Every structure is written in structure tokens, then in C-alpha cells.
Chains A and B, each alone.
Chain A
Amino acid sequence: MFNSYVETTLRYQPSKCINCEICIDVCPHGVFVPGKKAVQMAKPWECMECGACQLNCPTAAITVESGVGCAAAMIGAALRGKKVDQKEECT
């Protein structure tokens, strides 16, 4: 209750990982940690869906629905009956 941030859209397929560890470098919330053969997703609930790991992963092992997350723009889209998932513009 009163926590909308437990689940995120971050998905990781360790089988695709080549252990380059770029995701560890770019993540501002320490979601990924080093592993033996593949990077490990240690704290997925810390993800803020910035999309840095997805964009920088050379093997597309990580997917996340990233976006600006501007509440006003999303409310506006919802009120106009548009899909909230569309790329919205933040000011």
C-alpha cells in the first residue's frame, strides 16, 4: 500500500550477457553487480527506468520502458484520452 515503486519494467536476460559490466557503470542506483559469468541484477526495485543500461548494453540483454516520467504530461495525456505511454514532452 502507498508504494507504487515496488515493481519496475526492468527485465534482464543473463543468458545474453557478455559480462562487459557497462550496465554497472551507467546505473545511478546500483541495480547491477559483478558476477562470475554474467552481471547480476541485485536490486531491481531501485530502478528508476532511466534506460541507460538498455541503451548501452551491446547485446540487448536488458530491456526497460524508459521515459521522462513527467507527471503533469502524463496526467495531461490521460485527460485528453491519449495513451499515457506515448513519448511525452516535459517542460
Chain B
Amino acid sequence: MTISPTAVEVINIFPTSSKLNAGNTWDHIQARWGIRRGHHRVIPGLYALGKPQPTSPVFVTANYTLSFDALRSALGEMDAYILVLDTQGINVWCAAGKGTFGTAELIRRIEVSRLKDVVNTRILILPQLGAPGVAAYEVKKQTGFRVEYGPIRAEDLPEYLKTHQASREMRTARFNLKDRLVLIPIEFVHVIIPLILATIAMYFLGGLLPALAASMAIFSGVTIFPILLPWLPTKDFSSKGWILGMIVTLPFTLAMIFGNLGPGWWVHAGLALALQLALPVVTAFITLNFTGSTSFTSRSGVKKEIFAYIPWMAGLLGGGILLAISAFLVHTFGRT
């Protein structure tokens, strides 16, 4: 698709369909794994799905392929217009939070696409999660288009369109196992380099068990944590992650202690204790950051968590490192 040089003269409407092809699926896999991040974009503008008439409904979405594809595939055989806002390749929810899926861009896009000349309806159906960026009454005042907030998930659109009333279920953000599982690849990609470096460093500093313990502390934070999120005790993500970190580190530290009960056992015990102090902090720090990927943690709550737990994290981490250094020094220079 190319924009013709005479775009200002003619009304440019891109054709699209509700069918997803292999290329789309491959693009989605790449997006989920963080490959070519920022490149999963569609050209902003007006799209025709099927053979829309001037009376056909108009849906609004972001120019992120996962958002656009979720919308068009949910609409099936319907004839409709899709107005794609320029959110710089970011999904509806995050773009709305930033304001790029916003009132100003929507108003501008309505004008640029000359939507008023294309349709004679004056209703736009927006995803509910776009609402943090769009003031519906302001759009109405400035363009004459009434914003209607549809359901959160595009898959609920066929049901929604029967009555134009969304059920409480459709209006509520969920974060079920499937929603959490799809986040694991990108979370994993984010920590892969620190994970490899930490494992290598720990192997040369302490040996195989500390290396495995360190990699497990990081790995569990991005894999086991999202899966077990609702069942881990306490509400705060830092404490949930710390508990998980304690549990996954324990087998390694026990193995270090009970595998070295001979002379000089206390060096291994000291090192094991150091790991048990320091590693759960690493898991907790990773899981604290996972708050940004959920659909329910408030900003002020995350801020409270930061001020409540970061000092403890620093203290435990520092304590663990000091203990490890002391055990190492005493072991090396303390012998007579």
C-alpha cells in the first residue's frame, strides 16, 4: 500500500479484509517475542472492510498490527469503516495512557480522512480502553461525531453490536491465565541478557549451584510469576515476587549446605545464606516491574510499593553481597 501523491485531492480509503493470513500470524508471533519492536504498524487512515456504505458503522483503532488485526478479524462478514489513528505502533490501552490514542489525534484523523464526506452517520465506535485518552464530549463538540465506547475486547463486538449495550463482563478488564501467558515471551526477552551474564558471573564466582540459583531467580520472575500471580500470597507484587524468589532459591541453598558438610562447611553455608538473602530480591524487583504489564495496578499503588520495598531490597541485596565477600575472604585468607 502506498499513499498516492495526490492524497490531498482524493479521499484515500485503503481496502482491508477480516481474514488474517500467514503473514499476519508471523507478524503477531514476532510482536509477542519483541522482534522488530516498533515495526508492527499499519498506515494510519481510513480503511474499508468489505463493501461499506455511507450508513455503515465506523470503528476506531490504533495503528498497531495486533490491535488492528484483532478488530478486523472480529468483524467477520460485516461491511464497515475502520479509522486507524497514528499511535506510533502502540496498542490502544498504552497509547491512550500516553495520549497518542487521544482526542487531538482522533479529531485530526477525522478531518484528514474527510470522514464526513464518506459516511452520513455521525457515530464512532471506539474500544473502551481508548477512553483514558479520548474525551468523548470534546470530540462531539468539535466534529459532530458521537463517540460510543464499545467493549474492551474486539471479540465481543458481534455480541455488542446486536444492542449497542455492553454487559458488565464486556466492560471489565480481565487478566486471566491466557492473558498472562501471552506476556511471558516478551518478559523473558527483556531479561535474557542479564540472565546469561548473571549465570556466567555466578558460575565463576561460586560454582554451578549458585549459577543455577541465580538463573532460576530471574527466570521464575518472568515465567512462574505471571502464571501463579493470583495465587501467590499478599497483594503487593514485590512481596509476591519475594516469596516466590525465596521458594525457588531454597532448594539450591539447601543443596549447597547439605552437599558440603565436611570441613569448611561454614564457608558453603555462608555462601548459601548470602544467596538466600540476595536472590529473592532480584525476583522481587522483576515482579515489581511486572505491575506495568497488568490491567489493574494503580499508579499511586506502584509508587507506594517502590517507597516501601526498594530500601528493603537494597538492604537484603547489600547484606547478601557483604556476607558472600566475607565468607570468601575468611575462606581464602583466614586459614592458618
Chain A positions within 8 Å of B, measured between CB atoms, are: 1-5, 7-9, 22, 25-30, 46-52, 55-56, 58, 65-72, 74-75, 78, 84, 90
- Knowing A28-B128, A29-B172, say if A4 contacts B301 (CB, 8 Å): yes
Docked pose: A10 CA to B137 CA in angstroms: 21
Are the CB atoms of B94 and A52 closer together than 8 Å?
no
Pick from A3, A55, A69: contact of B302, CB under 8 Å: A69
Question: B50: CB under 8 A from chain A?
Answer: no
Within 8 A of A (CB), among B143-158: 149, 152
Question: B108: CB under 8 A from chain A?
Answer: no
Give the shortest distance, in Å, between B296 (CB) and chain A (any CB).
5
Docked pose: A24 CA to B295 CA in angstroms: 17
Q: Looking at B131, B149, B152, B235, which has the most chain A CB atoms within 10 Å of its CB?
A: B131
- Knowing A28-B128, A48-B296, say if A5 contacts B137 (CB, 8 Å): no
Within 8 A of A (CB), among B166-222: 166, 168, 171-173
Docked pose: A9 CA to B301 CA in angstroms: 9
Question: B36: CB under 8 A from chain A?
Answer: no
Q: List 21 A-B contacts (CB under 8 A).
A: A3-B235, A4-B236, A4-B308, A5-B235, A22-B137, A25-B171, A26-B131, A26-B149, A28-B173, A29-B296, A30-B168, A47-B298, A52-B128, A55-B135, A68-B94, A69-B298, A69-B302, A71-B289, A71-B292, A75-B310, A84-B303
Docked pose: A37 CA to B47 CA in angstroms: 42
List, in ascending order, chain A residues with CB within 8 A of B291's CB: 69, 71
Docked pose: A78 CA to B288 CA in angstroms: 15
> For chain B, what secondary structure do more than half of its interface residues adopt (helix, strand, loop), or is it mixed?
helix
Q: Using an 8 Å CB-CB cutoff, how does the interface string of B270-294 with A read, 1 for contact, 0 for none?
A: 0000000000000000001101100
List, in ascending order, chain A residues with CB within 8 A of B303's CB: 69, 74, 84
Chain B positions within 8 Å of A, measured between CB atoms, are: 94, 96-98, 128-129, 131-137, 149, 152, 166, 168, 171-173, 234-236, 239, 288-289, 291-292, 295-308, 310
Are the CB atoms of B171 and A30 closer together than 8 Å?
yes
List, in ascending order, chain B residues with CB within 8 A of A46's CB: 296
Are the CB atoms of A51 and B132 closer together than 8 Å?
yes
Docked pose: A5 CA to B234 CA in angstroms: 11
Docked pose: A14 CA to B108 CA in angstroms: 34
Are the CB atoms of B149 and A25 closer together than 8 Å?
yes
- Knowing A26-B149, A56-B131, say if A49 contacts B239 (CB, 8 Å): no
- Knowing A49-B299, A68-B98, say if A28 contacts B135 (CB, 8 Å): no
The 9 closest A-B pairs by CB, nearest first: A69-B299, A52-B131, A26-B131, A4-B304, A28-B173, A2-B234, A3-B235, A5-B301, A49-B298
List, in ascending order, chain B residues with CB within 8 A of A65's CB: 299-300
Docked pose: A2 CA to B132 CA in angstroms: 28
- Knowing A30-B168, A90-B292, say if A55 contacts B299 (CB, 8 Å): no
List, in ascending order, chain A residues with CB within 8 A of B297's CB: 5, 48, 69
Are the CB atoms of B239 and A2 closer together than 8 Å?
yes
Pick from B239, B288, B298: contact of A71, CB under 8 Å: B288
Give the shortest distance, in Å, between B61 (CB) and chain A (any CB).
17
